[in-house]
Amino acid sequence: MTPADRLWTAIVSGMPRNSWMRLRDICEAVEARLTLDNDDLRPYTPGSRAPAWKHRVRELLLAPPGNARMEWNRRGSYRRR
């Protein structure tokens, strides 16, 4: 499983500051920057179609590490501050 710090680096390296970005576009940028392993690609929960890595990206966006600031517009977009 890709460590959270590598996921976070992939997230912020693909997000310009102060611009709203759709979750789908963030996930595409992360996927392009990382080589995801089998644990990342497995479903997050039994019966789910969403892979674990996408769930972890959403978790990091909603609770960024350290003093990072992220906004969520409740319509599927995030903005890095």
Q: Is the Cα torsion angle 77, 66, 6, 14 positive or negative in sign?
A: positive
Which pLDDT does position 11 carry in this prediction?
A: 96
pLDDT for residue 35: 96
What is the rounded CA–CA span in Å between residue 78 and residue 35? 23
What is the residue-level pLDDT of the chain in tens, covering all 81 positions? 999 999 999 999 999 999 999 999 999 999 999 999 999 999 999 998 999 999 999 999 999 999 999 999 999 999 999
**Other CB atoms within 10 Å distance of the CB of residue 40:** 17
State the pLDDT at residue 29: 96
Task: Specify the pLDDT at position 27.
Answer: 96
Task: Give residue 42's domain range.
Answer: 4-80
- What's the confidence (pLDDT) of residue 63? 94
Half-sphere exposure of residue 45: CA atoms within 13 angstroms, side-chain side: 2
Are the C-beta atoms of residues 23 and 58 closer than 8 Å to each other?
yes
| Predicted pLDDT of residue 58 | 96
Tokens coding 15: 């997000």
Q: What is the number of structural domains in the chain?
A: 1
Quickly count helices (H) and strands (E) in the chain.
Answer: 4, 3
